[in-house]
Chain A
């Protein structure tokens, strides 16, 4: 396996996000996924490889075919990735509220 790829690098690309959305509802072969995009097939293959390397997609052998499906656990990590950002603002606003509750106008 190549160097470990970052999930956020993976989802920064619109085609890769579209692939995740597509595969989220049903597992699909690489061919079926590629058929859903205007992009050249090698490009789609590259996206699939990146998504698989960062574990957002998993492969499953199904007879002669390989099906791709999303890795629910890894997908949840993305869902949670804005939590530290939310927490940062929550902390600031809590502080604002505390300061203003004790605010005495200097008039």
Chain B
């Protein structure tokens, strides 16, 4: 199957590039980031706050299947240019992970196709690799490693 979402994570770097092309006009793609109700649907999170403006901030709250709060993610918005770009920080609260910087670029490809580029910069290479490995660590059932300890602190 073709991989629509691509992750470019060069070894030893503290950044990654997530790219994805959508069968959507750029206006609709951007709207999915702008409207709290829509963000909530595709991110699978509660949107407690979303101020789409320079110096604005946001708070997302994600629950597990039992409805307990699994983690809270928040950040501030540095740039918000409709159908063009969002620059923001992202932090998982109460975890050992430092905040990360995200540059989101929205591009029109044709009238009904668009492209999203997410450039994420982490505090260090180690933090990047640990965060990238999180879904992996949650997926495997292997005991007593450091990553799993970190994951358990998220619960």
Say whether A and B bind each other.
yes
Interface, chain A (partner B; CB < 8 A): 3, 5-6, 8-9, 11-14, 17, 21, 81-90, 92-97, 99-101, 103
Give chain B's interface residues, CB within 8 Å of chain A: 3-7, 9, 11-12, 18, 20, 22-24, 28-29, 31-32, 38, 41-44, 116, 125-126, 129-130, 132-139, 142, 144-147
6 closest A-B pairs by beta carbon, nearest first, are A6-B145, A84-B135, A90-B5, A96-B42, A95-B42, A100-B28
Give the shortest distance, in Å, between A33 (CB) and chain B (any CB).
18
Bound CA–CA A9/B144 (angstroms): 11
Known: A6-B147, A81-B133. A93 touches B22 (CB 8 A): yes
Q: Please state if A89 and B145 are interface contacts (CB–CB under 8 Å).
A: no
Chain A at the B interface: mostly helix, strand, loop or mixed?
helix
CA of A39 to CA of B138 in the docked complex: distance in angstroms?
Answer: 34
CA distance A82 to B139 in the complex (A): 12
CA distance A83 to B144 in the complex (A): 22
Structural contact, A92 and B125, CB atoms closer than 8 A: no
Q: CA separation between A13 and B125, bound complex, in Å?
A: 9
